[in-house]
Amino acid sequence: MSDKKKRSWLSRLGFKSKEEKLALEASKKAEEEKIIDSKMAEKMALINAAALKASHQEDTKNLSSEKPPTVNAEKSENSLKTEASNKKIKKQKSNQKNKQPVKLTNNSETHKKTPPKNEDSNKSKVSNINNEKDVLNENGFFKRITAGLSKSTSLMSEQMSSLFNKRKLDSAALNDLEDILIQADLGLEASEKVISSLSKEKFDKEVNELEIKITLGEVISEILTPLESPLTLTSEKPQILLFVGVNGSGKTTTLGKLAKKYSSQGKKVMIAAGDTFRAAAVEQLTVWSNLAGAKIVSGKQGSDAAGLIYDAIDQARSEGVDILMIDTAGRLQNRTELMDELEKIVRVIKKQDPSAPHHCILVLD
């Protein structure tokens, strides 16, 4: 595969160059500043609306305070007029009264309409801010990972079926197949081995989906076989098995299956719930321990994992346990504090037994 194509695929798989990372950080910073500016504009709009409302209330009070003198003046004037003039004045007075409420009503309607316009604009600004946050969340790292993993489960099989239906394996077909394998998260190196193997044996021949899958299985087996090693247990008790791996790789499930296997062979198994961080981790292990017929040692959520494991080893010795299986919290290698915690767990185990852990099992997905 050419360097240009590798760079293209690395970019598609989410690996960013230094320039792209800097551009992404600058973009995020600009978006955060935009959100802050929007919030400031929202606050200023609310302050202006409150000031405008107070001003309108003051104007209304002034109008109501000016009204009584006008009425009193009209009454004193009516007392000095003749009966004919009184009728005329009453008519004018009634006209004035009819006009005044109309003006006040129009003013009050204007005052009432103005704030809602500001409120509507404020609501639209708030909704825009929320929409921007939603867009940031939707384009987040974990969202992309989740979408990629769910897609890769069925993508490879579906695309192989449509690509290879008694089709000749030419250069174009090999390139298409390589793209399918990389999109299915097989990896660049493994994908190249599959393509190389097929081009040697099947080039310019008709192939189908089954033949491609057989070759794929052979290549994967060839890669993994040298790494295979049996899980050999000695007579020393307890045999301590430490399970490690990233989040969601299947550590607890693997531990539960092995516990069931060894219990079925007549071994006395104990499980230490060393994952004191994840919610419901103890409950999940309890289900597995019940299925395997194994005893479980657990503590409160958030408690010290190393201290719990120390107590579990003491208890396993006193009860004559054959195998002690230790579950741990998921962790990535770039989380320094979590890697330090794992080192502490190993140190605590070695204080109890310098030869332990007898097997450290890295669970990969």
85's CB contacts (< 8 A; 6+ apart) are none
The confidence score (pLDDT) of residue 60 equals 64
C-alpha to C-alpha distance for 326 and 361, rounded to whole angstroms: 10
What ranges do the domains of the chain cover?
18-138, 143-227, 239-362
CA separation for the pair 164, 173 (Å, rounded): 8
Question: Tens of pLDDT along 100-137?
Answer: 444 444 443 444 444 444 445 444 544 444 444 443 34
What DSSP string runs through 96-143? HHHHHHHHHHHHHHHHHHHHHHHHHHHHHHHHHHHHHHHHHHHTSHHH
pLDDT, residue 18, reads: 64
The dihedral through the CA atoms of 189, 182, 200, 171 has a sign that is negative
**Cα-flanking dihedrals φ and ψ of residue 352, to 5°?**
-80, -35
CATH topology match: 143-227 vs 239-362:
no
Q: Say if residues 322 and 267 touch (Cβ distance below 8 Å).
A: yes
**Residue 320 exposed, middle or buried by CB count within 10 Å (0-12, 13-18, 19+):** exposed
Query: Which 3 state secondary structure label does DSSP give 1?
Result: coil
Give domain 143-227's CATH number out of 3.30.365.10, 1.10.730.10, 1.20.120.140, 2.40.50.140.
1.20.120.140
Q: According to the per-residue pLDDT averaged within each range, which of 24-28, 143-147, 151-155, 164-168 is highest?
A: 24-28
Q: Decide if pLDDT at 71 tops 90.
A: no
Q: Taking 70 as the threshold, does the pLDDT of residue 340 lie above it? A: yes
Instruction: Report helix, strand or coil for 321.
Output: coil
Classify domain 239-362 by CATH number.
3.40.50.300
pLDDT at residue 139 above 70? no
Distances (CA, A) of 200 to 69, 207, 318, 320: 109, 13, 60, 57
- Quote the tokens at residue 23: 């551009």
pLDDT at 11: 63
301-313 pLDDT per residue, tens:
888 999 999 999 9
